[in-house]
C-alpha cells in the first residue's frame, strides 16, 4: 500500500477559505491500495474549511481515509467539515474511513461524516431493467457517487479532465490525461453556488 506524506493545511488569517476534494480509486487483480489523509488546522477567526473525499474500489484494492480537523483556541467563528465516503464493488476490496475532530474552543461550526458501503444491487438491477448492461449500470452509479465532489471543482476544464480520468479508469485504459482540451468530454457549465448540493451531514454540526 502506498504511504504518501500526510498533507496538512493551516488557515491562519481571515477571511480564509479552503476546499479539498480527493477522489482516490483502486482496481487490481493483486492487492494494492493507498492511504489518503491530511490535517486541516484553523488558527484564526472566521475561517472556513471543507474536505470531501470519495473513493471507489474493486478487485482486491484497499484504501484508508484518515483525516483530521483541528480548531485551535484563537479560531472562534470557524466553519469546518470533513467527509470520507467509499463505495466497494468487490467482496475482496476494503476501505476504512477514519475522520477526526479536535476542537479547542467554543463558538465554532464543525462536523464530520464517514461511510463505507457496497454497491446497491437493487440499483444495478433497476438500471439493467432499463436496458443498460451491468458494466454501464455500474459506471452510472460510480459517476453519480463521485459527482458531489467533482461538481465542487470551480474550473470547468479541470472537472472535464477528472470526468475523463474516471471514465478511463473504469474502462481499464490507465487514465492518462489527453494532450489537448478538445479531446475532453463535454461538461456542464460552471455550477452556481446555489446548485452545488451539500452532504446530508454538512449542516448538522457536532460543535457550535
Cβ partners under 8 Å of residue 5, min gap 6: none
Higher local confidence (pLDDT), 163 or 22: 163
Higher local confidence (pLDDT), 180 or 82: 82
Percent share of the chain, pLDDT over 90: 18
Note the pLDDT tens digit of each residue in 19-69.
555 555 555 545 556 777 778 899 889 898 888 888 888 888 888 888 899
The vertex-71 CA angle with 66 and 73, nearest 5°, equals 150
Higher local confidence (pLDDT), 195 or 56: 56
Flag whether pLDDT at 2 surpasses 70. Answer: no
Note the pLDDT tens digit of each residue in 109-151.
999 889 999 999 999 999 999 999 998 999 899 989 998 888 8
Percent share of the chain, pLDDT over 70: 67
pLDDT of residue 88: 92
Nearest to 39 by CA among 125, 129, 99, 111: 99
To the nearest 10°, the Cα dihedral for 24, 130, 132, 143? -20
Note the pLDDT tens digit of each residue in 136-147.
999 899 989 998
The mean pLDDT of 80-88, rounded to a whole number, is 91
Domain positions in the chain are 1-118, 120-199
Whole-prediction pTM: 0.71
pLDDT of residue 58: 85
Q: How far is the first Cα of the chain from the last one, in angstroms, to the nearest whole number?
A: 37
Three-class secondary structure assignment of the chain: CECCCCEEEEECCCCEEEEECCCCEEEEEEEEEEEEEEEEEECCCCEEEEEEEEEEEEEEEEEEEEEEEEECCCCCCCEEEEEEEEEECCCCCEEEEEEEEEECCCCCEEEEEEEEEECCHHHHHHHHHCCCCHHHHHHHHHHHHHHHHHCCCCCHHHHHHHHHHHHHHHCCCCCCCCCCHHHCCCCCCCCCHHHCCCCCCCCCCCEC
Amino acid at each position: 500500500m502506498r504511504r504518501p506524506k500526510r498533507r496538512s493545511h493551516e488557515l491562519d488569517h481571515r477571511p480564509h477559505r479552503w476546499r479539498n476534494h480527493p477522489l482516490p480509486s483502486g482496481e487490481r487483480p493483486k492487492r494494492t491500495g493507498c492511504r489518503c489523509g491530511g490535517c486541516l488546522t484553523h488558527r484564526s477567526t472566521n475561517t472556513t474549511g471543507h474536505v470531501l473525499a470519495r473513493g471507489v474500489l474493486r478487485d482486491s484494492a484497499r484504501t484508508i481515509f484518515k483525516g483530521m480537523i483541528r480548531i485551535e483556541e484563537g479560531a472562534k467563528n470557524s466553519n469546518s467539515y470533513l467527509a470520507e465516503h467509499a463505495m466497494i464493488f468487490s467482496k475482496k476490496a476494503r476501505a476504512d474511513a477514519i475522520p477526526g475532530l479536535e476542537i479547542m474552543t467554543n463558538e465554532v461550526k464543525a462536523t464530520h461524516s464517514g461511510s463505507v458501503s457496497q454497491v446497491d444491487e437493487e440499483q444495478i438491477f433497476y438500471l439493467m431493467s432499463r436496458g443498460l448492461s451491468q458494466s454501464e449500470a455500474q459506471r452510472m452509479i460510480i459517476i453519480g457517487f463521485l459527482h458531489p465532489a467533482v461538481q465542487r471543482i470551480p474550473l470547468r476544464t479541470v472537472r472535464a479532465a477528472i470526468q475523463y480520468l474516471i471514465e478511463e479508469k473504469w474502462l481499464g485504459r490507465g487514465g492518462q490525461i489527453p494532450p489537448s482540451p478538445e479531446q475532453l468530454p463535454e461538461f456542464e457549465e460552471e455550477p452556481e453556488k446555489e446548485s452545488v448540493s451539500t452532504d446530508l451531514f454538512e449542516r448538522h454540526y457536532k460543535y457550535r
